Structure formats: C-alpha cells, structure tokens
C-alpha cells in the first residue's frame, strides 16, 4: 500500500483547517495502516495527535453500540425487528405511532422528527426551576423518553427515510427495557469486554459527578468550547441531548479509538462471512443489507450504504458497502465485497463546530485511499 498521496492530502487538510487533526486507519486483509495527523488539541494548549487518541464518536454510537446491541437481542429472540415499539412502551402509540416497529427505527423510516432540543427544557428547569444537577440525572433521561413517546410524526411509518436521533434514543430505551441493564453496562458486558476492547465506552456523567469514574483527558481529543456549558469539552459528550440524558444514549455518547473500531468491524465481518458465531451470520447479513421497503432510501438497519451521487464514501465503493458518519468528524466505511475498511476519526468541531469542510473532504480522501489499495 503506497499512501504517499493520501498522507499529502491528510496533511493538506490540516493546513486548510478541515480539522485540527485526525487518526486514519485502513485495513486490507491482514495489512493495517494507521497514522495520526495534525493536532489533538489547539486549546488550552497545542498537543500533537497520537494514534491511540480517543474520540467522541457522536453518531457512530448508533452502529457501534445501539445497533450491535439490537443484533444481539434479535439473535437471542428477546425481540423481533417487526415487533411494534408500543408493545414495550404502552404510552408510545399516541399520534399515529402505534404501527412503528424496531425495523422502522433502525432504518430511519419511523417518521419521527430528526431532532428536538430536549436539553433546553432540562437546562431551563435547572436555571429557572431550581432543580440542581437535573441535567444528566435519571430523571432528565426519563423526561426525554416521555417526550419522545408524546412526539408527533412528520411522515407515516415506513413511507420515507428521515434520519432521526429520536429513533435511536428510543432504541436505547428499548435495549434497557428488554435487557434489564443500563445501555452502557449492556454494551460493556455483552459487547466490548468479551472482545477484549479497553478504550471504548460511554462516559456516565452521573458517575463522573459522584467521582465513581475518572476519565483520562490526556488520551481524549477535546471537542467544542460549548457556549452554554461555558467550557471546553473533553471527556464529556459533545451532543447536547446526550449530555442532558447523562452521557449515555442510543444516538450519541460513545468514546473510542481507531483500534477498537477496527476490532469491532473485523469481528462483525467475520460474522457476516460465517467465520465467527458471536452474532449469527443471517442476522448480520440482514442488518447490513439495504432495506428495499423504503423507496429512495440508502439505509440498511442501523448502517448506511453509499448513495448513487455525492456519497461521503466517495465514488469507488459500490452498493455492497456499509458505513456511518458522526457529527464530531468521525466516519467508517466497510467494503463487503473486499476485505477492507476505512476508519477516519477527527476532531473537526474543535474548538468550534462552525466548519463543515469535512463534507467535501470525506469523498476525496476515500477515493484516494481506495486507489492506493491493491
């Protein structure tokens, strides 16, 4: 693998301020390329990016925590993809939501809104209502779940794809309800620890406040200087709603380094190919197949597939690929026809989110990488 052109473009991206820094990992069979570029932090001091840097994954939480948890529960018969969500949450069926299934949530066709600023109500209740430390508490998380249960739909279920954080927040609640475990505990005990992964997990803000948890800021890439939390975020989830829910949510909150994501992708591919029984092959294949029931959708179950035009995967991945993006500047793409995947983790929201140059950069770098592979 000759990555000279790739490395020049990564260095140029740092110079163009696409992001302060990034870690790139590319696997082709048994061969792994990994390198750090640029800076881990610009504030409060400038530090170099390191290959073992841990990132706030943002929406990569969806495939690497929530979706894998759903795979396990489906494989164990604890729930079925076409079960109605209202079977588990009896007050959820109001406003036309009775027929929403877990499949609808996973392929973003539930019709639920993309996003709602629930955190604002929670923060206001602290500032104006005197509810000290309400944000991040179990009560705040319950408030968010109840608000989602009361939401009105923007489209009938199953009629169109509308990417929804709310759907994955609800999946997080369902995983907790069905398993009887907190989402972070389920993921640690059922996914990460059995695979020997040590630098991946949620940062539970409730435990952080109680000093039951000590983050390692020297390993974590800081994200944004948050205008309403009034501090630079490092080891604290960037996503506003996930923060209000305590740092553990189905849509955001996961932290990890490139090596742990590589290990998860490798194990999932082994399951997909029938070389591992960790999750049954038919389950992984079902989750990684584009769902044809929703017209004009690129979504599989919890994972995206390349769009025909202007895909973040570039122009050289075919339809038999899966991937996902994260708002903080993270992404993965996995080629199902060839034994290869690309993990790109950056801190593009550091120290401000007002930079979307990564949209044009992602397809460019993915094409350069694929051309460099045998």
- CATH number of the domain that residue 26 is part of: 3.40.710.10
In tens, the pLDDT along 75-85 reads: 999 999 999 99
Mean pLDDT of the region 294-316: 96
pLDDT of 129 over the 90 cut = no
pLDDT at res. 131 = 75
State residue 112 phi and psi, 5-degree precision: -65, 150
166: confidence class by pLDDT, cuts 50, 70, 90:
very high
Total of domains in the chain: 1
Mean pLDDT of the region 109-116: 98
pLDDT of 367 over the 90 cut = yes
Closest CA to 244 of 129, 116, 134: 134
Query: How far is residue 186 from each of residues 68, 191, 263, 313, measured CA to CA in Å?
Result: 11, 8, 18, 31
When the pLDDT of each residue in the chain is averaged and rounded to a whole number, the result is 95
**Contact predicate 331/312, CB 8 Å:** yes
pLDDT at res. 90 = 87
In tens, the pLDDT along 249-301 reads: 999 999 999 999 999 999 999 999 999 999 999 999 999 999 988 988 999 99
Range of the domain at 153: 4-372
Cα-based torsion angle of the residue sequence 248, 249, 252, 253 in order, rounded to the nearest 10 degrees: 0
pLDDT of 216 over the 80 cut = no
332 Cβ contact partners less than 8 Å away, ≥ 6 residues apart? 60, 63, 261, 265, 323, 324, 341, 342, 343, 344
Q: Which residue has the higher pLDDT, 319 or 297?
A: 297
């Amino acid at each position: 693998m000759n990555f000279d052109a790739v490395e020049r473009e990564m260095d140029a991206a740092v110079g163009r301020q696409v992001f302060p820094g990034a870690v790139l990992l590319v696997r082709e069979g048994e061969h792994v390329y990994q390198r750090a570029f640029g800076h881990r932090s610009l504030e409060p001091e400038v530090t170099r990016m390191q290959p073992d840097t841990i990132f706030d994954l943002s929406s990569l939480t969806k495939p690497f925590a929530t979706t894998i948890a759903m795979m396990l529960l489906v494989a164990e018969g604890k729930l079925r993809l076409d079960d109605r969500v209202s079977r588990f949450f009896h007050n959820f069926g109001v406003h036309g939501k009775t027929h929403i299934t877990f499949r609808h949530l996973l392929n973003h066709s539930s019709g639920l809104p993309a996003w709602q600023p629930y955190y604002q109500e929670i923060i206001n209740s602290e500032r104006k209502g005197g509810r000290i430390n309400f944000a991040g508490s179990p009560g705040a998380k319950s408030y968010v779940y109840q608000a989602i249960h009361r939401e009105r739909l923007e489209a009938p279920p199953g009629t169109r794809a509308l990417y929804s954080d709310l759907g994955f927040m609800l999946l997080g609640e369902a995983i907790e309800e069905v398993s009887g475990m907190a989402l972070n505990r389920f993921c640690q005990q059922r996914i990460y620890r059995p695979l020997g992964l040590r630098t991946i997990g949620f940062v539970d803000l409730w435990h952080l406040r109680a000093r039951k948890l000590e983050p390692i800021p020297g390993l974590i890439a800081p994200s944004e200087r948050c205008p309403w939390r009034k501090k630079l975020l490092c080891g604290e989830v960037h996503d506003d709603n996930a923060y209000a829910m305590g740092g553990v949510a189905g849509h955001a909150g996961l932290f990890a380094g490139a090596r742990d994501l590589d290990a998860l992708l490798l194990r999932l591919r082994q399951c997909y190919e029938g070389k591992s029984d960790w999750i049954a092959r038919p389950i992984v294949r079902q989750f990684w197949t584009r769902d044809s029931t929703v017209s004009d959708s690129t979504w599989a179950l919890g994972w995206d597939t390349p769009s025909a035009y202007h895909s973040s995967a570039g122009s050289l991945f075919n339809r038999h690929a899966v991937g996902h993006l994260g708002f903080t500047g993270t992404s993965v793409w996995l080629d199902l026809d060839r034994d290869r995947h690309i993990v790109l983790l950056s801190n593009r929201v550091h120290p401000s989110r007002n930079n979307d140059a990564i949209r044009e950069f992602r397809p460019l770098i993915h094409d350069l990488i694929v051309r460099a592979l045998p």
